[in-house]
């Protein structure tokens, strides 16, 4: 079905658009009362993500409620370890938790390379239902975690302040580390290709723990695998968002991806210079700016748009929406992007 609003895809490819597309990381989720109502009808986050009709419903909610230019499939980056043979649980207020972790050669042998279609059929079903119900209104974004971030969860077993166990692995056992990273990478490529076959119009890689590595380790243990994924995904545009990886911006400019996400620490002009003119930039309002008044949110969004003026741009926050954000102020952000960019066409 032909897309009625393909601003996101054209902006990702660097084509001229009549205005700047806008969406928000974590737009489908806790900030919306309509999401919380669906969430309360099931036992937990994982059941919701594994019930395709409901996942599709919460995926589409922000398109209706917030007026964004893209939907992003409701899922989780940790479905990949699960599909590789390492199941996880979602502990209320604490986050994800893996009963078993990976630390030895023997553990590696128990893992398999995930096949997107077979192992994660519920995600593909959710994508197909979403595409059908969206009726071409906006593009649908698929996603996966970047291999280093998935590695950190699989070795650590949960989030962590210092990620000591996973960083110890990189130092103590680079051979093991590269083996596990390659398994994750191969699984992720299968998974993203299956999402694209199911209907995803663009895919985004989230490297949530990028900022914990120094530049040399990031290049060896993260960028190398992100690069493999970018090379493998040729069907749709790819966005790379690596939180905290300010030191790798020049390298991001050389990836075969369409778009690079910026977090709110990254100066827009400097990032544009480092990444170069051949990428679209996505971001990067401070999510905490949405704690301001409507007038403050409007002013902060306007300032951000002015800094992106003349650059290839997809408007977004510099990180996921914080759960206690007022949806009315999210609407102010979306509306301001639309107003600014309609009034300041290139």
Instruction: Kindly state whether residue 214 participates in binding its own copies, applying the rule CB under 8 A.
Output: yes
Of 171 and 175, the one with the shorter C-beta distance to its own copies is 171
Helices 327-343 and 52-66: crossing angle in degrees, nearest 10, is 60
Distance of CA 321 to the CA centre of its chain: 12
Instruction: Kindly state whether residue 160 participates in binding its own copies, applying the rule CB under 8 A.
Output: no
Instruction: Kindly state whether residue 244 participates in binding its own copies, applying the rule CB under 8 A.
Output: yes
Token reading at 333: 């952000």
Instruction: Kindly state whether residue 211 participates in binding its own copies, applying the rule CB under 8 A.
Output: yes
CA distance 49 to 20: 30
Burial letters 183-201, b for 16+ CB under 10 A, else e = bbbbbbbbbbbbbbebbbb
CA distance 87 to 106: 17
Instruction: Kindly state whether residue 43 participates in binding its own copies, applying the rule CB under 8 A.
Output: no
Q: How many CB atoms lie within 10 A of CB 175?
A: 8
Instruction: Kindly state whether residue 93 participates in binding its own copies, applying the rule CB under 8 A.
Output: no
Of 47 and 326, the one with the shorter C-beta distance to its own copies is 326
Instruction: Kindly state whether residue 209 participates in binding its own copies, applying the rule CB under 8 A.
Output: no
Instruction: Kindly state whether residue 267 participates in binding its own copies, applying the rule CB under 8 A.
Output: yes
**Interface residues for its own copies in 12-31 (CB under 8 A)?**
none
CA distance 289 to 275: 25
Per annotation, catalytic residue among 6, 10, 19, 39: 39
Q: How many CB atoms lie within 10 A of CB 1?
A: 10
Instruction: Kindly state whether residue 175 participates in binding its own copies, applying the rule CB under 8 A.
Output: no
- Binding segment for its own copies (CB under 8 A), chosen from 86-94, 182-190, 192-200, 316-324, is 316-324
- Binding segment for its own copies (CB under 8 A), chosen from 27-35, 50-58, 212-220, 309-317, is 212-220
CA distance 147 to 220: 12
**Interface residues for its own copies in 47-66 (CB under 8 A)?**
none
What is the DSSP annotation of 42-60? SSSHHHHHT-HHHHHHHHH
Of 97 and 247, the one with the shorter C-beta distance to its own copies is 247
Please confirm, yes or no, whether 312 is among the known catalytic residues: no
CA distance 316 to 89: 29
- Binding segment for its own copies (CB under 8 A), chosen from 55-63, 114-122, 198-206, 207-215, is 207-215
| Residues catalogued as catalytic | 26, 30, 39, 76, 153
Q: Which residues bind its own copies (CB under 8 A)?
A: 162-164, 167-168, 170-172, 211, 213-215, 217, 244, 246-247, 264-267, 270, 286-289, 291-293, 296, 300, 318, 322, 324
């Amino acid at each position: 079905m032909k897309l009625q609003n393909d601003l996101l895809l054209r902006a990702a490819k660097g084509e001229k658009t009549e205005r700047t597309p806008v969406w928000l990381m974590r737009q489908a989720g806790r900030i919306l009362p309509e999401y919380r109502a669906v969430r309360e009808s099931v036992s937990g986050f994982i059941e919701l993500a594994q019930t395709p009709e409901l996942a599709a419903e919460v995926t589409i909610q922000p398109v209706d409620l917030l007026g964004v230019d893209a939907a992003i499939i409701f899922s989780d980056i940790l479905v990949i370890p699960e599909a590789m043979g390492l199941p996880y649980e979602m502990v209320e207020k604490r986050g994800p938790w893996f009963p078993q972790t990976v630390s030895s050669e023997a553990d590696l042998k128990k893992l398999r390379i995930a096949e997107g279609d077979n192992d994660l059929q519920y995600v593909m079903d959710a994508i197909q239902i979403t595409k059908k119900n969206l009726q071409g209104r906006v593009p649908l974004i698929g996603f996966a975690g970047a291999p280093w971030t998935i590695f950190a969860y699989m070795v650590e077993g949960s989030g962590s302040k210092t990620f000591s166990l996973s960083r110890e692995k990189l130092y103590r056992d680079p051979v093991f580390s590269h083996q596990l990273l390659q398994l994750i990478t191969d699984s992720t490529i299968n998974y993203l290709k299956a999402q694209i076959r199911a209907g995803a119009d663009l895919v985004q890689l989230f490297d949530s723990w990028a900022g914990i590595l120094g530049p040399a380790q990031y290049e060896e243990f993260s960028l190398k695998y992100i690069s493999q994924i970018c090379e493998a995904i040729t069907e749709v545009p790819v966005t790379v968002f690596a939180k905290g990886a300010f030191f790798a911006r020049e390298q991001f400019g050389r990836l075969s991806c369409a778009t690079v996400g910026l977090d709110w620490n990254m100066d827009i002009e400097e990032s544009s210079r480092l990444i170069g003119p051949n990428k679209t930039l996505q971001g990067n309002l401070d999510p905490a700016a949405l704690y301001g008044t409507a007038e403050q949110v409007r002013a902060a969004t306007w300032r951000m748009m002015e800094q992106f003026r003349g650059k290839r741009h997809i408007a977004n926050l510099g990180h996921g929406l914080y759960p206690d954000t007022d949806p009315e102020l999210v609407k102010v952000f979306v509306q301001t992007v639309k107003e600014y960019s309609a009034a300041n066409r290139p």
